[in-house]
A = this chain, B = another copy of it.
Amino acid sequence: MSEARVDDLVSGILDGEHRALARAITTIENREGGYRDLVSALHAHTGDASVIGVTGSPGAGKSTLVDKLAKQYRDRGLTVGVIAVDPSSPYSGGAVLGDRIRMASNVGDMDVFFRSMSARGQLGGLSTATADAITALDAFGKDRIVVETVGAGQNEVDVVRTADSVVVLVQPGSGDDVQMLKAGILEIGDVFVVNKADMDGAATTVSDLREMLHMRDGSPAGVAGHHGVASMDDDTDADSEDWDPTVLETVATEGTGVEELIEVLDDHYAHLRETGELDRRERTRYAEEIRQLLRSDAADLLEAEIDRHGGLDALVDEVQARETDPYTVADRVLEPFADCVDRRRG
């Protein structure tokens, strides 16, 4: 994409053209040439949207809830962008078809902008691509941005964890609790929604959830550090400014509970702002974005160097044959970079 075309897209987005927004997100999703310049240019115009991550296992009713949430926001005069992220799908075919169905059944209002994104190439890249799409929606001027995941695994956690508010959907009696434990979703949820609350077992699920959340905020069980020093994995959010995760019931198909959800989300956002946590989360997000970019860009440089040495398999062959060893291999591959730094310093 030419520099002029990037400029066109940027001004299109700032002028509120949905076509430019759609084109920009495609560029971002496909990592087309120019996407870095595009996101760089849009960044200066961000900072006004609040970002809501919605996760939960397939079948919990996420898309229905997100549709109702978007409609409710529209009724309140707010504009909405929705990104449905599918980390498990390397293809976009299905997702695009899904889009059309979703869009047809949607509010029928272009002020709800809906887009799905799938994993092309590395999964690590999807968090970055999602962050970039959020940047585009934010710069466009959307008031609320909802990031919805297809499943509830580790990759989904990575995608939603940097949202301002994380909503976790749970289906009664689904064994979702175990899956959530595995994925670490329990740790990142700000609001837990037991959807399909008219199903049998909803009350049990609500109380199970409350108990698990209670455990979460209590002692971190077994694996914790000695000597009063918390291990690096521990959350250290046990102070009085902490948000007490809310458990809500909804029946998304009927819209029941959606207004309450919006109120809780508003409360959470107000809490984030008042405690300075919003600012801290933004800083954490940017720090992680920078680190993630540095890691993946550096990994690209490293891959190129590994290839120049015949590829990782060839290096492993040598190590396995005891012709060389991992440290010598690492030194050899990194030598040009280390030299380079030395030379610039010397």
Binding site for B on A (CB under 8 A): 36, 39-40, 43-44, 46-47, 57-58, 86-91, 94, 123, 151-156, 178-179, 181-184, 221-227, 229, 231-233, 279, 282-283, 286-287, 289-291, 293-294, 297-298, 301-302, 304-306, 312, 315-316, 319-320, 322, 324-331, 333-334, 336-341, 344
Compute how far the CA of A75 lies from the CA of B141 in the bound complex, rounded to whole angstroms: 74
Compute how far the CA of A320 lies from the CA of B290 in the bound complex, rounded to whole angstroms: 12
B337 contacts A293, C-beta separation under 8 Å:
no
A43 contacts B340, C-beta separation under 8 Å:
no
Compute how far the CA of A59 lies from the CA of B283 in the bound complex, rounded to whole angstroms: 40
Residues of chain B within 8 A of A231, CB atoms compared: 87-88, 153, 155
Compute how far the CA of A156 lies from the CA of B226 in the bound complex, rounded to whole angstroms: 15
A223 contacts B89, C-beta separation under 8 Å:
no
Residues of chain B within 8 A of A151, CB atoms compared: 222-223
How many of these chains are in the complex? Answer: 2
A298 contacts B334, C-beta separation under 8 Å:
yes
B222 contacts A58, C-beta separation under 8 Å:
yes
A223 contacts B179, C-beta separation under 8 Å:
yes
Residues of chain B within 8 A of A184, CB atoms compared: 182
A326 is contacted by which of B289, B320, B322, B339 (Cβ under 8 Å)?
A: B289
Chain B residue at minimum C-beta to C-beta distance from A60: B222
Compute how far the CA of A223 lies from the CA of B301 in the bound complex, rounded to whole angstroms: 32
- Given pairs A40-B328, A298-B337, A337-B337, 18 additional interface contacts (CB within 8 A): A44-B322, A47-B322, A179-B221, A181-B181, A182-B182, A183-B223, A287-B312, A290-B319, A290-B329, A293-B327, A293-B329, A293-B330, A294-B306, A294-B330, A298-B334, A336-B344, A337-B340, A340-B340
A316 contacts B222, C-beta separation under 8 Å:
no
Could you pull out 12 A-B pairs where Cβ atoms are within 8 angstroms?
A43-B326, A88-B224, A151-B222, A154-B233, A155-B231, A286-B316, A290-B326, A290-B330, A293-B327, A294-B334, A298-B298, A298-B337
Residues of chain B within 8 A of A315, CB atoms compared: 290
A333 contacts B57, C-beta separation under 8 Å:
no
Compute how far the CA of A291 lies from the CA of B315 in the bound complex, rounded to whole angstroms: 11
CB of A324 to closest CB in B, whole Å: 8
Compute how far the CA of A259 lies from the CA of B325 in the bound complex, rounded to whole angstroms: 36
With a 10 A CB-CB cut-off, give which of A90, A123, A184, A316 has the most chain B CB atoms.
A316
Residues of chain B within 8 A of A327, CB atoms compared: 36, 39-40, 293
Compute how far the CA of A39 lies from the CA of B334 in the bound complex, rounded to whole angstroms: 18
Compute how far the CA of A154 lies from the CA of B289 in the bound complex, rounded to whole angstroms: 23
Compute how far the CA of A86 lies from the CA of B181 in the bound complex, rounded to whole angstroms: 24
Known: A40-B328, A294-B334. A123 touches B88 (CB 8 A): no
Residues of chain B within 8 A of A341, CB atoms compared: 301, 304-305, 336-337
Residues of chain B within 8 A of A301, CB atoms compared: 334, 337-338, 341
Residues of chain B within 8 A of A320, CB atoms compared: 279, 282-283, 286
Compute how far the CA of A87 lies from the CA of B178 in the bound complex, rounded to whole angstroms: 25
Residues of chain B within 8 A of A91, CB atoms compared: 226-227
Residues of chain B within 8 A of A227, CB atoms compared: 89-91, 94
B233 contacts A153, C-beta separation under 8 Å:
yes
